[in-house]
Amino acid sequence: MSVSMSRRTLLSAAAGSVAAVAVGTEAGAAPATRTRVTPALRELEAKIRAGMARYAIPGVAVGVWHRGAEYVRGFGVTNVDDPVPVDGDTVFRVASTTKTFTGTAAMRLVERGRLDLDRTVRSYLPDFHTADRAASARVTVRELLNHSAGWLGDFFLDTGSGADALARYVEAMSVLPQLTPPGTVFAYNNAALSLAGRLIEVITGASYEEAVRTLVLDPLRLRHSAFFLDDIPGASVAVPHGVDADGKPFAAPEAFAMPRAIHPAGGLISSARDQLRWARFHLGNGRTPDGRRLLTRRSMHEMQSHPGPGGTLFVELDGFGVTWMLRPTAQGPKVVQHGGDWAGQHSGFLMVPERDFALTVLTNSEGGPLLTAELFADDWALRRFAGVRNLPAVTRPVPGAALAGYEGRYSGSQIGFEGETATVELDLVADAGGLSVRVGGQEALRLAFYRRDYVRVLDPGGTDTHFRANFVRGAGGEVAWLRYGGRLYHRGAATLRSAGTSLPLQRSTLPYPGLG
């Protein structure tokens, strides 16, 4: 076990219970990289400052591409114990946005004829299987990358820091249960992306990290992006922070560590400036800064189209293309999005290609998800910069007889660093025309319906969290699953027997075992 117990317990305050606290921002605000700060950017700056104070976030870095101009800026400090101003080159762990780098590396191999998205994983890894050998034999590479493989996705086994970490992880995937048939249901799947990373290793003959560096990072000159801090000498690091019982941030540098086997799903370390360059590459024509083509237009289009099964991941989505979340808008232009969460490192990333707009925000606190929800799940930024809005979601009370079809106990599982199984158990109870979500007898959330099977997620006081969720029906038409945070919670018996560990209800793309 390479992650210490102190790391698993240091950040004990859940993001959903962060209290308001003043955190110095202006004194540490780095100058913007842009010729002119527009009124929209000033409003964005004000929202960031307010969110830092409200949610106990010591440091934020932001990058915006809008109307042909670039804006990069840092706010606050990297570490409350050793304050250094955050700037555009400060590095954070971007967590699940890493998946888009894995997908882009895979597309480079597709162009070279060494990988086929529609061939099965077993074509490349003949010995691969999960607990359901027949189902896992049918899973294609595309289904790994669009989160429809169907097996339990939150598998965080730490297989060490050696070169064989991914190989050992993939072998250990033999215990994972199949939740839904391959290719039929969207369920966010971290294990599938680590498996895709192993495919990249096998095809290239290099480690995953070296392959991504050679295929993607170096050609795009992403000098402040890597999987190991030693590969970014002299970097200013945004230290993770928890939030204590008094609502104040405290530094927890141990939390920056991550098992190597999870790198393809969430291990990249990067800066706001590099993330904005990443956005401009995917908004553009697939060329490197020196004009060399890295991906064809066809491959760029492939990544951002032909979505797999849809549903919700914080917002409504049409589905995933090749690792990009494709999000509809009321006006028509699609949003291409990701984001990521790790202990004390929470970020958002989105683009609207038809409006030539991109936004990335990186934070170093467990309060970060509350700010990223305001900027990436709510549609303020989309409206202000790109002129598009979320699909409408006007809630209405539902009669009790109809709510009965949704009531019951729902269970979700994940497998932790040491192979231990932990569960989240939710009781959904009809209340006031909606559903009360109760954990251990205490109300944690409320669900308000805006159309059949789709709900807005509210806090117990009725305040909008900016998130949406939905129910998934079985073959007979009955409600079988709640999809919350992209995960499937089974109605009825748990899909895995728990080792006795209970988890809090988390809203994140890469849940981190032991925090809650």
Question: Has 96 been annotated as catalytic?
Answer: yes
At residue 320, does pLDDT exceed 80? yes
Q: How confident is the model at residue 33 (pLDDT cuts 50, 70, 90)?
A: low
Give yes or no for a contact between 222 and 270, defined as CB atoms under 8 angstroms apart.
Answer: yes
Express each pLDDT in 473-488 by its tens digit.
999 999 999 999 999 9
Is 328 in contact with 391 (CB distance < 8 Å)?
yes
- Closest by CA position to 24, among listed 62, 77, 91: 77
Query: How would you write 340-360 as a 3-class SS string?
Result: EEECCEEEEEEEEHHHCEEEE
Contact 316, 327 (CB under 8 A): yes
Residues facing 435 on adjacent strands: 430, 447
pLDDT tens-place string over residues 361-404: 999 999 999 999 999 999 999 999 999 999 999 999 999 999 99
Spatial contact of 513 and 473, defined as CB atoms under 8 Å apart: no
Opening angle at CA 61, ends 60 and 64, nearest 5: 130
Concatenated DSSP letters of 229-285: GGGSTT--B---EEE-TTS-EEE-GGGG---GGGHHHH--EEEHHHHHHHHHHHHTT
Which pLDDT score is estimated for 500?
55
Q: In the chain, what percentage of residues exceed pLDDT 90? A: 88
In the set 4, 12, 17, 96, the catalytic residue is 96
Q: What percent of the chain has pLDDT over 70?
A: 89
Return the minimum-mean-pLDDT range out of 129-138, 334-343, 496-505. 496-505
What is the 8-class DSSP label of residue 80? T
Coil, strand or helix at 388? coil
User: In whole angstroms, what is the distance from residue 345 CA to residue 11 CA?
Assistant: 11
The C-alpha atoms of residue 201 and residue 364 are separated, in whole angstroms, by 31
Q: Is 58 helix (H, G, I), strand (E, B) or coil?
A: coil
Determine contact, residues 417/259, Cβ cutoff 8 Å.
yes
Query: d(Cα 443, Cα 438) in Å, to the nearest integer?
Result: 4
Segment (H or E) for 135: helix 133-138
